[in-house]
């Protein structure tokens, strides 16, 4: 446990090397899968003009901003999310890239949340977005990417489900049931809370629309065939990829934010113990809003946070095994151990040669007992120790997992280590 006297601010996290290695495992996995899907990375400034975020957001976000006046009296905000910057930057650069844009981002976001368990004030989001393509093919590509991120972490259809919904189904339902246009957001808000509200309270809210809760339950449980042609198209697309077992039509999902326009989705662990692992959907009007109508591009995207996925991995043995193997592979290859102090120059020369060849090498920077040097080799997770004694250039190569040793030369060492899957 870290020393409690040296804490970060509440809601902020320190990433000492072990925590950072876990974080990097998430980043590398997201990046690898995104690249496989032909997505390219972008990065937003950490601080933007507050105006940009206010343009985009309704809801509770404005009260949670790290919003300040800078020394030049500018109203600035440390970014609470990435989509506002995405819209601005895509509008600025869209002429330089062939459309549709397939862009992803991995970065810290900041919200002044009430301090409570699992609520962070600095958290990391993986965002993937497709801009400039309004058809279901883009929605399907995006859902497939989200599914493959989960698969790459080691999760199966037993572990998670992508709940897909279509806001247009609810817009049509509202219209057919006489909800006046200005009340539609309120109606969507009732659906958004449907699963979590006590039934009586939900019914109270539905009274305003002259609806019965059980009618809605029936509609959601048995949605009429063909109610969402968009979902059907996405389903068929995923089927062609062999990914249909991960998704279901689930009209409970609405997504709170006002700007979603079509297909929306959330990923949940099947135990449903945690908040959504990921969420997103189509937001066709947002780029126009953010660019003051200068640029109009249909868009669809999702975000996946680092905290929930890290917990899920910890709870799933297959995912944990994959992660631990990756962490082990990321450790040092070789720890040099100096058994004869007069051989220090030779050891340094050997370290340089190994490193030039791409081997990850640690070494004793000051005289130390042999036992302590070997202990360090173990502690840093090195796969091998190389013991350099008076008989150099003959050295001892010790495999620290199998505990076997061979005597070899610097040249033999390189062959041995580079043949090792480097």
In the window 173-202, what residues touch its own copies (CB under 8 A)? none
Segment 243 to 262, residues that bind its own copies, using CB under 8 A = 243
Q: Is 329 in the site for its own copies (CB under 8 A)?
A: no
Among 362, 384, 388, 398, which residue interacts with its own copies (rule: CB under 8 A)? 362
Q: Is 45 in the site for its own copies (CB under 8 A)?
A: yes
Tell me whether strands 263-269 and 278-282 are parallel, antiparallel or unpaired.
antiparallel
How many CA atoms lie within 13 Å of 219's alpha carbon, on the beta-carbon side? 18
Segment 374 to 403, residues that bind its own copies, using CB under 8 A = 375-376, 379-380
What is the closest distance, in whole angstroms, from the C-beta atom of residue 239 to its own copies in the complex?
8
Spatial separation of the C-alpha atoms in residues 356 and 83, rounded to whole Å: 42
Q: Is 122 in the site for its own copies (CB under 8 A)?
A: yes
Specify the residue, 315 or 368, whose C-beta has the smaller distance to its own copies: 368
The answer to whether 322 and 309 have CB atoms below 8 angstroms apart is no
What is the closest distance, in whole angstroms, from the C-beta atom of residue 25 to its own copies in the complex?
11
- What does R_g of the chain's alpha carbons equal in angstroms? 27
Element housing 69 (H / E): strand 66-69
Q: Is 369 in the site for its own copies (CB under 8 A)?
A: no
Q: Is 325 in the site for its own copies (CB under 8 A)?
A: no
Q: What is the DSSP letter of 336?
A: E
Among 91, 234, 254, 304, which residue interacts with its own copies (rule: CB under 8 A)? 91
Among 26, 82, 84, 138, which residue interacts with its own copies (rule: CB under 8 A)? 138
Spatial separation of the C-alpha atoms in residues 248 and 89, rounded to whole Å: 33
Per-residue binding string, its own copies, 14-33, x by CB under 8 A, is xxxxx-xx-xx---------
Nearest to 142 by CA among 260, 237, 277, 276: 237
Segment 342 to 361, residues that bind its own copies, using CB under 8 A = 344-346, 348-349, 351-352, 355, 358-361
Listed as own residue / partner, the contacts of 115-120 with beta carbons closer than 8 Å and 24 or more positions apart are: 115/10, 115/11, 118/275, 118/307, 119/11, 120/11, 120/12, 120/13, 120/307
Specify the residue, 149 or 202, whose C-beta has the smaller distance to its own copies: 149
């Amino acid at each position: 446990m870290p020393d409690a006297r040296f804490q970060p601010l509440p809601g902020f996290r320190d990433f000492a090397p072990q925590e950072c290695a876990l974080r990097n495992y998430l980043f590398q996995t997201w990046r690898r899968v995104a690249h496989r899907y032909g997505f390219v990375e972008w990065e937003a400034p950490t601080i933007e003009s507050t105006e940009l975020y206010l343009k985009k957001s309704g809801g509770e976000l404005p009260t949670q901003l790290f919003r300040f006046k800078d020394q030049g009296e500018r109203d600035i905000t440390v970014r609470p999310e990435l989509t506002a910057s995405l819209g601005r930057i895509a509008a600025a650069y869209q002429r330089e890239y062939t459309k549709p844009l397939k862009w992803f981002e991995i970065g810290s976001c900041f919200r002044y949340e009430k301090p409570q368990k699992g609520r962070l004030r600095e958290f990391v989001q993986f965002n993937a977005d497709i801009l400039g393509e309004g058809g279901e093919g883009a929605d399907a590509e995006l859902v497939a990417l989200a599914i493959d991120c989960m698969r790459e972490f080691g999760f199966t259809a037993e572990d998670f489900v992508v709940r897909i919904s279509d806001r247009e189904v609810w817009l049509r339902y509202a219209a057919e049931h006489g909800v006046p246009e200005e009340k539609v957001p309120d109606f969507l808000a009732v659906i958004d809370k449907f699963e979590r509200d006590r039934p009586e309270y939900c019914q109270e809210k539905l009274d305003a629309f002259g609806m019965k809760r059980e009618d809605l339950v029936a509609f959601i449980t048995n949605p009429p065939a063909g109610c969402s042609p968009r979902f059907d198209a996405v389903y068929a697309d995923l089927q062609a990829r062999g990914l249909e077992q991960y998704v279901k039509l689930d009209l409970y999902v609405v997504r709170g934010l006002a700007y979603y326009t079509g297909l929306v989705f959330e990923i949940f662990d099947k135990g449903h113990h945690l908040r959504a692992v990921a969420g997103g959907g189509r937001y066709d009007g947002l780029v126009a809003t953010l660019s003051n109508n200068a640029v109009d591009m249909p868009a669809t995207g999702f975000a996946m946070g680092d905290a929930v996925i890290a917990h899920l991995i910890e709870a799933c043995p297959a995912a944990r095994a994959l992660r631990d193997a990756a962490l082990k592979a990321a450790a040092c290859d070789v720890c040099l151990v100096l058994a004869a102090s007069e051989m220090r120059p030779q050891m340094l020369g050997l370290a340089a040669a190994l490193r030039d060849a791409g081997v990850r090498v640690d070494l004793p920077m000051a005289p130390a007992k042999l036992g302590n040097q070997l202990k360090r080799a173990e502690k840093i997770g090195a796969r091998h120790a190389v013991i350099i004694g008076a008989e150099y250039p003959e050295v001892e190569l010790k495999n620290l997992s199998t505990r076997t040793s061979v005597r070899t030369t610097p040249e033999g060492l390189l062959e041995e280590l580079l043949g090792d899957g480097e």
